[in-house]
Amino acid sequence: MSLLDAAREVREMAYVPYSRFKVGAAIRGASGAVYRGCNVENVAYPEGTCAEAGAIAAMVAAGETELIEVAVIADSPSPVPPCGGCRQKLAEFGNGHTPVLLATIDGATLATTVGELLPGRFDAGHMAKAE
Ligand code: THU
């Protein structure tokens, strides 16, 4: 199964009573294993979590901290762009060249990278003087 199909499949599990906007994300760890996440909303709206965050949590819980590929899918008019926070979360475990495939359920796709999604990102190098 492709990474995009894994994202498409897990999207169906999204818990979205408030936005009704289901998102699915799948990431491939350096081991080759695939981890999936869907968005999980909450009546206290800011407590909801994005699909990407769920997939990353599953990867880390399985003992992996490097991701090599990402796919995200939603029923949106154009390939769904990860929110700002998720861009930073993906950057934590990927690198500037890590491929990210954004998709709609109608078949439109946009291939990009973690670096293109978050230019100028904050990284550990910016804390060098704190050591
Ligand atoms: N959402 C994601 O899960 N990932 C994204 O990349 C964009 C937004 C979710 C959060 C919320 O449950 C719903 O989509 C509407 O913002």
pLDDT tens-digit readout, 33-49: 999 999 999 999 999 99
Residue 119 counted as domain residue: yes
How much is the mean pLDDT over the chain?
A: 96
Range of the domain at 19: 3-126
Asked, for residue 57, whether it belongs to a domain, the answer is: yes
Instruction: Using DSSP, state whether 123 is helix, strand or coil.
Output: coil
User: Distance (Å, rounded) from C-alpha 118 to C-alpha 97?
Assistant: 11
State how many domains the chain has.
Answer: 1
Find the CATH number of the domain harbouring 44: 3.40.140.10
* Tokens encoding 61: 């819980």
From the CB of 16, is ligand 1 less than 6 Å away? yes
Ligand 1 midpoint to CA 51 (Å): 7
Ligand 1 contacts CB of residue 86 (under 6 A): yes
Q: Quick check: is 131 in a domain?
A: no
Q: What is the pLDDT of residues 59-104, one digit of tens each?
A: 999 999 999 999 999 999 999 999 999 999 999 999 999 999 999 9
